[in-house]
Structure 1
Amino acid sequence: MKNFLIYTVKIIFVTALVAVILDGLYTVVFMQSKNRGKVETVVNSEAKKYDVVILGSSRANNHFVPQMFEDKGLKTFNYGMSGGHLFEASLMLKLMIERKYVIKNVILEADLNLSGEEKSEGISALFLPYIHSSETIKKHFENEKDFNELYYLPFYRYIKYDGKIGFREAFFTAIHKKTSMLDNSGYYPLFKTKNGNMKNNIVNLNPLPHNKYYQEIKDICKANGINFIAVMTPMCENVKGMNYFDKVKKAYPEIHNYENVVVEDKYFSSCGHMNDSGAKIFTARIINDFFGKK
């Protein structure tokens, strides 16, 4: 029995030691990354200056064309993240401020994600390699139910989110393999597809009367002298429950409703995402309305 206990203790000790070593190795790799995705590009960056920073989900990532802002003399980057929620958008802005970014305008895509405050499991995982090196990231995750495991158990976060920050991603990061996420200043153009879903139902969707992370973004902008522009972006013609956007406007009157600026299906790749042609029409309208006189 004694030998069994000794053996068990040894196994536990070796397992813990391996976990600590692997955790350290993975973290070091991610701390060197600057060319694969938007999260590490911000985390591992120094102070930058932007006239316009774009935040939001895929409905930001696919809808705002930075080059059109650049053509007007506005240094711009699209930090929209496909699959992301306001949880991640808020954290991205916090990290930019932590790294002393100077930002004149923030454009936030704020519509469908106002209906919840939960994090996006896949996108929030991209911040976890830096949870011990950034107090901002640590505090942002502190109230999450799995925070203790993510923060205190070595290598746990890399195992739990293996598909996002596991061996494959660590390997590609180590060999500096680039992705397309940073191309086009963060904008990801979509194109018309034959199998695109041109129907959607948001009848049961309701904006929260007070979305914590939306308010955080708004407050950060105010505290740092950043002009805050919140907008709702277009959806295709065949959507049930379009009064959702009226509900948003009622709850958040400062959000600008651009839902009907582009409506024809030919300008959409899927019902909730415009194609490149639609995005350019939409972006032109945004530039004209908010920056046209400058």
Structure 2
Amino acid sequence: MKKFLLYIVKIFIVVALIAVFLDGLYTYIFMHSKNRGKIESVVNSDAQNYDLVILGSSRANNHFVPQMFQDKGIKTFNYGISGGHLFEASLMLKLMIERKYEIKNVILEADLNLSNDKQSEGVSAKFLPFIHNSEVVKKHFKEEKDFNELYYIPFYRYIKYDSKIGFREMFKIVKNEETNAMDNLGFYPLKKHKNGNMKNNIVNLNPLPHNKYYEEIKAICQKNKINFIAIMTPMCENVVGMNYFDKVKKAYPEIHNYENAVIENKYFSSCGHMTDDGARKFSAIILKDFFKK
């Protein structure tokens, strides 16, 4: 029995050592990744200077054309992330401040995601390789229910989120395989598709009266003297429940409502996402309203 227990202990020690080694190896590789996505490009960057940073979900990623701002002499990058929530947008801004970015203006796409203050696991997982190397990342996840497992168990986060930060992603980093996330200054243009979903029902959607991560972003901007511009972006003319945007305006009167700035279906790839033409039409409006000289 004693030999059996000793054998089990040895196996446990070997497994633990392997987990520690793999954790260190994966983390080292992620800490040297800069061309796979927006998150690691910020984490592994030096201090940057921007006149304008754009944050939000796909409705930021697909709706603001940074080159149009650049053409007006406004140094811009679109850090909107498809599938992201305000949880991730707040963390992105915190990381920029941690890395000493100088930012004059932040545009935050703040509309549908005001209805929740949860993380988007598919996106938030991409921050986890850096949880031991960034105090900001550690603190941001500290209130999440699985924080202890993610932080203290070696290699656990890479196993749990294997599809996002597992072997395949690590291998692509080693191969220096790029994605299109950083193309077009972060903007992802969409095309018109005949099978695009041009119907949407948001009747049951309600903004939280106090969205923690929206308030965090606003407070960070105030503390760092960044001009904060919160914007509700357009949806197509077929949406049911458009009074959601009135609810947002009532709860957050400082948010600028542009949900009907572009409404014709020809400018939309799907009901919640504009085509490249729609994005350019919308970006021209934002330029005129907030950045005219």
Q: TM-score, normalised by structure 1?
A: 0.99
Query: In the alignment, residue 151 of structure 2 is paired with which amino acid?
Result: Y
Query: In the alignment, residue 243 of structure 1 is paired with which amino acid?
Result: N
How far is 1:190 from its partner? Answer: 0.6
Q: Which residue of 2 aligns with 1:164?
A: 164
User: How many Å separate the matches in 1 of 2:87 and 2:140?
Assistant: 9
Q: Which residue of 1 aligns with 2:85?
A: 85
User: How many Å separate the matches in 1 of 2:194 and 2:157?
Assistant: 39
User: How many Å separate the matches in 1 of 2:158 and 2:287?
Assistant: 41
Query: In the alignment, residue 160 of structure 1 is paired with which amino acid?
Result: K
Residue 15 (structure 2) pairs with residue 12 (structure 1): no
Task: Give the fraction of aligned pairs with identical amino acids, expressed as a percent.
Answer: 76
- Regions of 4+ moved over 2 Å: none
1:65-76 pair list within 5 angstroms: 65-76=65-76
Residue 130 (structure 2) pairs with residue 130 (structure 1): yes
How far is 1:174 from its partner? Answer: 1.4
Q: Which residue of 2 aligns with 1:30?
A: 30
How far is 1:261 from its partner? Answer: 0.7
Q: Which residue of 1 aligns with 2:276?
A: 276
How far is 1:3 from its partner? Answer: 2.1
Secondary structure of 1:269's partner?
A: strand
Q: Which residue of 1 aligns with 2:154?
A: 154
User: How many Å separate the matches in 1 of 2:268 and 2:2?
Assistant: 69
Give deviations 1:243-288, integer Å, cap 9, x for gaps: 0000000000000000001111111111110010100000000000
Query: In the alignment, residue 204 of structure 1 is paired with which amino acid?
Result: N
How far is 1:23 from its partner? Answer: 0.3
Q: Which residue of 2 aligns with 1:242?
A: 242
Secondary structure of 2:54's partner?
A: strand
Secondary structure of 2:16's partner?
A: helix
Query: In the alignment, residue 268 of structure 1 is paired with which amino acid?
Result: F
User: How many Å separate the matches in 1 of 2:100 and 2:37?
Assistant: 20
User: How many Å separate the matches in 1 of 2:281 and 2:287?
Assistant: 10
Query: In the alignment, residue 89 of structure 1 is paired with which amino acid?
Result: A
Secondary structure of 1:239's partner?
A: coil
Q: Which residue of 2 aligns with 1:190?
A: 190
Q: TM-score, normalised by structure 2?
A: 0.99
Residue 111 (structure 2) pairs with residue 111 (structure 1): yes
Structure 1: any 5+ residue segments left out of the alignment? none
Query: In the alignment, residue 148 of structure 1 is paired with which amino acid?
Result: N
Secondary structure of 2:181's partner?
A: coil
User: How many Å separate the matches in 2 of 1:270 and 1:173?
Assistant: 32
Query: In the alignment, residue 244 of structure 1 is paired with which amino acid?
Result: Y
How far is 1:10 from its partner? Answer: 1.4
Give deviations 1:54-106, integer Å, cap 9, x for gaps: 00000000000000000100000000000000000000000000111000000
Secondary structure of 1:237's partner?
A: coil
Give deviations 1:20-59, integer Å, cap 9, x for gaps: 0000000000000111100000000011000000000000
Q: Which residue of 1 aligns with 2:213?
A: 213
